[in-house]
Structure 1
Amino acid sequence: MKSFLLHGFFVWACEFDKNRIFATENRVTMATKQSKKAHENELLENPEVIAEQIGRGEAFLKKNSKILAGVLAAAVILIGGILFFQINTANQNEKAQEEMFQAVYFYEQDSIDFALNGDGINKGLLSIVEDYPRTDAANLANFYIGSIYLSEKKFAEALEHLEDFSSDDYLVQAKAYSLIGDANLELANIDAAISSYTKAARTNENKYTTPKYLAKLAVAQEESGKIADAIATYTEIEEKYYESFEYSAARKHKARLEGLAAK
């Protein structure tokens, strides 16, 4: 019984202390709020305090007026420049695409000279790149020009234009990587070719184009003397893309390289 009473007293004491502490905290909080409110009321009701605050603001503005004006002017110029650049680029791109239409038609008809240089009336792809830099049309023109130069065995020129091309379309970008690999392989830049073919094979992997890029990669790896890597690449074609056109050739070349490695 005594133990129970002591326990009850202890609980009551704790509750009493807790209530006393909370009450004290509440009084302090209320006092702080009242003080803050009184200070705010003083600012609102006392004209001298308001005038002092305004005076400080005016003094700051007078002292830093030139700096603030310069910052404001710079901001206006920057924003205006960005808007002008965006609008101008959009207009240039629209105009370039219209002028590029005939050049693309010539390209599709294998009229390579007209596609590159124009027909005397319509601009060629080279003019599109030169006259409308930084536009989507010029970017795409670089892809067409690079593929034309590659077919003409102008590998250095092809590489220059293909490396200036980029696309959000994974299939097109993978094709560009592959063409860059072709140009580098022809120029005996074997390591660069391996890097480009690897990018092509790993971009949007699929059963249609990936085995083609892997086959090119294996050729470059063998050319570089990396026989084990070439065998691994042919093995990937064999295991993942057994329905592809490259499957049979991959098995044959893999067996050949394994025979060479065994010697």
Structure 2
Amino acid sequence: MSKIPFTGKSQQARQQQQRVVSSDPLQPAEAYNPEHPLLEDPDALALRLAESEDFLRRNKNVLLGLLAVVVLAVAGGFGYYLWRGSQDTKGQAALFQAVDYWEADSLNKALKGDGRNLGLEKVAAEYSGTDAGNLANFYAGVASLKKGEYKKAIDYLEDFSSDDYLVQARAYALLGDAHLELNQPKEAADFYNKAANHNANEFFSPGYLMKEATARELAKDYDGAIAAYDKVITDYATAAEVTEAKEYKARAEGLAGK
């Protein structure tokens, strides 16, 4: 243990020393109370350092164990980052042929593979957590929707997310289509609304709003349908959908008894 010389001063002497070094010359010596006594009292500082050294000695194994855990966590995180990058590269290569079949409308081969190349279902499962696996979910969702497998389409599309606002909005709209095919108009309308308002724009939002309004009419939510038609008319006055929106809004108002 490191040694710090004892000052040899009594408690009374230390109090007198503290009164002498008061930072406020107008303050009575008796009232001076240092804010940081450890800095004013070498003996107290020595005791505190001795206690710290003793704590380190008694808990050396625990502290070394914690240090090892931190080092392993950092190394593991870096290793996972490298592994995930290599997995994504492999996934992108596997995805290439499946997407080729998807674009050719060979949906079964796109989903299941051709016996030599993986299909979208396998890519999504085996490369989950990578960009390739995420993209496979989107393609598999669209393929399942085209095949009439609406519940599977919903599962795949719900597992998909994108930073590209147009693609993500499209995924929301496709989820709306799948729910509408399952006779779930309220859920469909909610997804169409998400699509319309996800970075809203004049090119796609009016069409999504028209789909929302139709789904709300099917759910007998005429006020919601009128609100969607109104949004097309007021927010996208130059859109091609405005004429239909005005016509369908009048019909919805009639159904609502307005």
Into which bin does the TM-score normalised by the smaller protein fall? 0.7 to 0.9
Query: d(CA) in 2 for partners of 1:108 and 1:189?
Result: 29
C-alpha deviation, 1:223, in angstroms: 0.9
Establish whether residue 219 from structure 1 lines up as the match of residue 247 from structure 2.
Answer: no
* TM-score of the superposed pair, with normalisation by structure 2: 0.79
Gaps of 5+ in 2: 1-22
* Alignment map for 1:103-252 (pairs within 5 Å): 103-252=98-247
Within 2, Cα distance between the matches of 1:81 and 1:223? 53
Residue 261 to residue 56, structure 1, CA distance change in 2 (3 Å): closer
- Show structure 1 runs of 4+ deviating over 4 A: 35-40, 52-58
Over residues 20-74 of structure 1, what are the superposed CA-to-partner deviations in whole Å (9 max), with x where a residue is unaligned? x97435x99xxx7xx988866x99xxxxx98x88765553233112211221222
Amino acid at match of 1:68: L
Instruction: Answer yes or no: is 1:260 the counterpart of 2:255.
Output: yes
CA RMSD of aligned residues (A): 3.0
Hey, which of these two has a bigger chunk of helix by percent?
1
CA distance in 2, matches of 1:243, 1:120: 51
Q: TM-score, structure 1 length as denominator?
A: 0.77
Equivalent of residue 91 in structure 2, options 91, 96, 106: 96
- Which of 67, 71, 89 aligns to 1:72? It is 67
Structure 2 CA distance for aligned equivalents of residues 62 and 240 of structure 1: 71
Aligned positions of 1:32-47 closer than 5 A: none
Displacement of 1:90 in angstroms is 1.3
Q: Quick one: which amino acid aligns to residue 63 of structure 2?
A: L
For residues 259 and 195 of structure 1, the distance between their equivalents in structure 2, rounded to whole angstroms, comes to: 23
Distance in 2 separating the partners of 1:154 and 1:172: 21
Structure 1 pair 219/62, CA: closer, same or farther in 2 (3 Å)?
Answer: same
Quote the Cα distance in structure 2 between the aligned partners of 1:171 and 1:227. 28
Deviation at 1:240, TM superposition (A): 2.6
Q: Count how many residue pairs are aligned between Structure 1 and Structure 2.
A: 233
Matched residue of 2:118: which SS? coil
Moved more, 127-136 or 243-252: 243-252
Distance 2:80 2:40 in 1: 54
Distance 1:198 1:53, change over 3 A: closer
User: Once the 2 structures are TM-superposed, how far is the Cα of residue 226 of structure 1 from its aligned partner?
Assistant: 0.9
Q: Which moved more, 1:106-115 or 1:214-223?
A: 106-115
Secondary structure of the structure 1 residue equivalent to 2:256: helix
Which structure would you say has the larger Rg? 1
Q: How does 1:47-86 map to 2 (within 5 A)?
A: 56-86=51-81
